[in-house]
Amino acid sequence: MSVAIIRWTGPESVGRAMDAVGAWESFKPGMDVFIKPNIVMAGSPKIPAKGITTSPEVVEAILHLVRQKGAGTVRIGDGSIHLPSLKMDTRAAFRWSGMEDLSQREKVPLVDLNEGPFRTFFLSDGTEIEIAASVLEADFVINVPVLKTHNQTVTTVCLKNLKGCLSMDSKKKCHRETDLNRAVAEFNLHIPCHVNVVDALTATEIGPLPTGRRDQVREMGLILAGKDRLECDVVGSSLLGYPAEEVPHIVHYGALTGKSLKMEDIRIIGEDPSRYRLHLQYRSQWLEDLMEKFSVSGMEMPPYGLSLCSACGVNLWAGLMTFCKTHQGKNIDDAELLAGKNATPGGKARHSVLLGKCAIKKHKKMKDAIKIPGCPPDPGKVLEIMTKALITGS
């Protein structure tokens, strides 16, 4: 197979990329087409969605193409972070990303994959997962990820983007009950994908969510296309600065399918990837960034590994952002914040703060710990409990 790397000169670039890899060979008029972009979250109107969610321009170009080819029905869908406390759900994410405007303008239905119905599958370790039937029942699935590094999986391109097809409970299970990287590889064996169109108009550092850093989103100006999701991930990860051998979920998927992870085994059509290759960081230091922004000192958060799901991470970020903003300029009296199941306490901190159900369960024998319950914890409770324990002493 092959991967096309086409310079973006407008919507027609999408068609050129898809034609170059024979994207329509298995397509037949009348097919039910499902387009799966990356609409990971809803955000503030003050924050641009560019580089965080798939560009509506790219999705619109694909929509026009499949209609020209004679598609019977076309739907666009994803399952975004669902946090009622922050008014975040898939519908809000469709609005923030620009997909709602596209839907209304083009009269194409949007599907919230979090709402099901689902079909049940099992991973190799027995973990039960649910995958949205809307994707499984489609005749032709087009996967449209955004090119990003990821603070837990190193990169996120085609394979990782399909995690949005899982139920909310299954997304959490990938973090809490099994190995995230292996889970990504294995659920991809069950989710159909006929062609991949990668939005590489930008390359995003330390995704998958906004960090607030000015240079998080870099201009790249490319469209990638390919029928093989692994090959697209190998090329996409290389553009971000990571050989496929350094990306665990890609390694797992390669082993499961018996396919090569080497760039030289992929036929590249169009641009030379070496001309565009960056080296973007993927490890997040969001607590440190918040503390620096609000001049707060005295807290640290050991690495939480792969067990922290996106919903928990967003709520903790919101709660700790409010805490730092509320207590701007404060020197906290030596607090260690533990989140997820994999964080290892240093054992020397004056205060240990257990953030959420997983951390509380993991460290249930820890004496005098400050416990913030919830799955995920409510941001207001993060502020309230940490203020009482670390600021007022009440």
If DSSP states are collapsed to H, E and C, what string results for 210-259? CCCCCCCEEEEEEEEEECCHHHHHHHHHHHHCCCHHHCHHHHHHHHHHCC
Q: Which domain holds residue 116?
A: 2-275
Q: 143 in a domain, yes or no?
A: yes
Whether residues 324 and 207 share a domain: the answer is no
Q: Are residues 109 and 254 in the same domain?
A: yes
On whether both 243 and 264 belong to a single domain, the answer is yes
Q: What is the mean pLDDT of the chain?
A: 95
Give Cβ neighbours of residue 232 (< 8 Å, ≥ 6 apart): 3, 157, 158, 196, 198, 224, 225, 226
Give the tokens for residue 316.
Answer: 């903790």
Same domain, 78 and 221: yes
First-residue to last-residue Cα distance in the chain: 64
Query: Of 224-228, 313-317, 328-332, which gets the smallest average pLDDT?
Result: 313-317
- Name the maximum alpha-carbon separation found in the chain: 68
Considering only residues 214 and 37, tell me which one the structure prediction assigns the higher pLDDT: 37
| Same-domain check for residues 35 and 163 | yes
Residues 245 and 294 in one domain: no
181 plus 320 within the same structural domain: no
- Reduced to 3 states (helix: H, G, I; strand: E, B; else coil), residue 367 is coil
State which of 221, 248, 275 marks the end of a domain.
275
State whether 184 and 35 are in the same domain: yes
- Write the CB contacts of 79 (distance below 8 Å, at least 6 apart in sequence): 90, 112, 113, 114, 132, 164, 165, 166, 167, 168, 171
Q: Any idea what the CATH number is for the domain that residue 140 is in?
A: 3.40.50.11440
What pTM value is reported for the model?
0.91
**In the predicted model, is pLDDT for residue 308 greater than 90?**
no
Q: Report in angstroms the alpha-carbon separations of 290 from 162, 205, 207, 310, 358.
A: 30, 17, 16, 18, 23
Answer yes or no: is pLDDT of 184 > 90.
yes
Residue-level pLDDT at 96: 98
Which CATH number covers residue 302? 3.40.50
Answer yes or no: do 102 and 189 share one domain. yes
Question: Buried b / exposed e across 74-88, counting CB within 10 Å, b at 16+?
Answer: bbbbbbbbbbebbeb
Question: What's at 245, amino acid-wise?
Answer: E
pLDDT in tens, 77-95: 999 999 998 899 999 999 9
Residue 281 lies in a domain: no
Check if the beta carbon of residue 337 is closer than 8 Å to that of residue 300.
yes
pLDDT value of position 34: 98
